[in-house]
């Protein structure tokens, strides 16, 4: 049985667009995974650690037979294959792949938390997520439009630019 999941992609080192394209290609090549939708690319200011180059971010919707931890491990293997090194928390990276949502599940494991812990604080994830599924309902029952409205009232949206 296939489950719909959403993956956040980001890059701020090297050829950012090519890094995202290569990650999508490798994700599509995973057994039991099919990319069903993808958002536009967005250029965004760094979040968390701000003294680094801007990111290009995107969200993809996949249909997968992989269980959540198996999906996470496959995405981490893709990050490693593409040269990702985890040296500085929230630091520069050529590729970052995050499981944002996995069906309507709430997962609270040491290794994986779904929904992603910072999902509702990050416009660079919420805006592309709303672009590909404007009717999305989070596991807690909140709707993407409501979450976006709350965040845009309290956040500066000027650091996000659709490419």
How many of the other CB atoms lie within 10 Å of CB of 99? 21
Write out the catalytic residue numbers.
84, 93, 96, 98
pTM over the 0.85 mark: yes
Domains of the chain: which residue ranges? 3-162
* Inter-CA distances, 82 with 28, 58, 85, 121, 156, Å: 15, 17, 9, 27, 32
β-sheet bridge partners, residue 44: 55, 160
pLDDT in 10s for each residue of the chain, 163 residues = 899 999 999 999 999 999 999 999 999 999 999 999 999 999 988 877 777 899 999 999 999 999 999 999 999 999 999 987 766 655 678 999 999 999 999 999 999 999 998 888 888 899 999 999 999 999 999 999 999 988 887 766 557 789 8
**According to the CATH classification, is domain 3-162 in 3.30.565.10?**
no
């Amino acid at each position: 049985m296939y489950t719909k999941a959403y993956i956040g992609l980001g890059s701020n080192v090297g050829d950012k667009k090519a890094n995202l394209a290569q990650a999508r290609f490798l994700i599509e090549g995973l057994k039991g995974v099919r990319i069903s939708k993808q958002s536009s690319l967005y250029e965004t200011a760094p979040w968390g650690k701000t003294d680094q180059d801007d990111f290009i971010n995107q969200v993809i919707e996949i249909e997968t037979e992989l269980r959540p931890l198996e999906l996470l491990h496959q995405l981490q293997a893709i990050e490693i294959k593409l040269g990702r090194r985890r040296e500085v928390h929230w630091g520069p990276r050529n590729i970052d792949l995050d499981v944002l949502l996995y069906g309507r599940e709430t997962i609270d494991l040491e290794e994986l938390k779904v929904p992603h812990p910072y999902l509702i604080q990050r416009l660079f994830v919420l805006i592309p997520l709303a672009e590909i599924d404007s009717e999305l309902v989070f596991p807690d029952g909140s709707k993407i439009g409501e979450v976006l409205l709350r965040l845009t009232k309290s956040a500066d949206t000027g650091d996000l630019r659709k490419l």
